[in-house]
Amino acid sequence: MPGRAPKILATRQKRPRTRTPIGHRPEAAEIAAAKLLLEPWQWLTSPRFFGEGHVPSRGPFLLVGNHTLMGVLDVPLMVLGLHERRGVLVRSLGDHLHFKVPLWRDLLTRFGTVDGTRENCEALMRAGEPILVFPGGGREVFKHKGEQYHLIWKSRIGFAALAIKHGYPIVPFAAVGAEECYDILVDSDEMRHSPIGPLLERLVPRADEIPPLVRGIGPLPRPQRFYFWFGAPIGTARYAGGQDDQIVCMRLRRRVQRAIEKGIAFLLNERKRDPQSNLPARLLGRLRSEGGRPQARPVKRQRRSVKPPGV
């Protein structure tokens, strides 16, 4: 019954969570090594964060957002940025295909990522871990032409069902910038309809998730500025007991999806207003700052900043 939902959630939250280690939780030295490794990329992309105060600094929560093209360009910087700003280390749920690639799976595991199975997610939730999930998975990473910043979640509601079952609040987030690091030359649809299409469909487990052929600065990504937005947590108390009801789970999923889409729109607008959205402008600003010369007045400084949605 809807009126009894808060009571059910309160009962769940009072039970002690099992602190059983799941996978590998990075130690301080490993986090420091990751920051050092990513420092050049962070310097080039100069990430901006909006609404990070909505991310809890303690306690369990599910961080849910859009996966950008190729998937790995911005996520590490976001995870490390949250660790610096909020003192929280989120555990990522990775697509199953990641864990079939030798060495790459070892690197992901070393930095706390686990195979995104339902069982692993529930184990993390029982341990009270903060979790990062991308419902779009590999299909959203390997976008087709014309799908920039689209959420491609198919009919997936698993994250919503588990959040309801374990009383996890959902923090929606949006990411902008990485979609412009590459241009898609040939996407998986075009490959499948080419002469090599039948061969690809036999070789690849999920033919609609074939990596596209892309171009940035040659094979290297363009150093676009990254923007991250975090919305107010969405509680699951009102949905308690509905984890097996597809209608209830879909209702929660739609709330999260709408929040993320608003966050993406906000970030795209902020990028338009940002005088240092491109690399030359950022480098010039740094040169002026490091050289001790006074900064030039920002363009159209009188404009008021748009309030992030969910604040």
Radius of gyration of the chain (CA): 21
Q: Say what the pLDDT of residue 306 is.
A: 57
pLDDT of 299 above 50: no
What average pLDDT does this structure show over 164-170? 98
Tell me the per-residue pLDDT of 225-244, one tens digit each, with 9 for 90 and over. Answer: 999 999 999 999 999 999 99
pLDDT of 277 above 90: yes
pTM of the entire predicted model: 0.85
pLDDT of 11 above 50: no
Tell me the C-alpha distance between 221 and 215, whole Å.
Answer: 8
pLDDT category of residue 291 using cuts at 50, 70 and 90: low
Tell me the per-residue pLDDT of 27-59, one tens digit each, with 9 for 90 and over. Answer: 999 999 999 999 999 999 999 999 999 999 998
pLDDT category of residue 203 using cuts at 50, 70 and 90: confident
Tell me the C-alpha distance between 182 and 222, whole Å.
Answer: 7
Q: How far is CA 98 from the centre of its chain?
A: 16
Task: Tell me the one-letter amino acid at 157.
Answer: I
Q: What class does CATH assign to 2-181+221-290?
A: alpha beta
Percent of the chain residues past pLDDT 90, beyond the cut: 67
Q: Which residues contact 1 (CB under 8 A, 6 or more apart)?
A: none
Tell me the per-residue pLDDT of 58-72, one tens digit each, with 9 for 90 and over. Answer: 989 999 999 999 989
Parse the chain into domains and list their residue ranges: 2-181+221-290, 183-216
pLDDT of 112 above 90: no
pLDDT of 247 above 50: yes
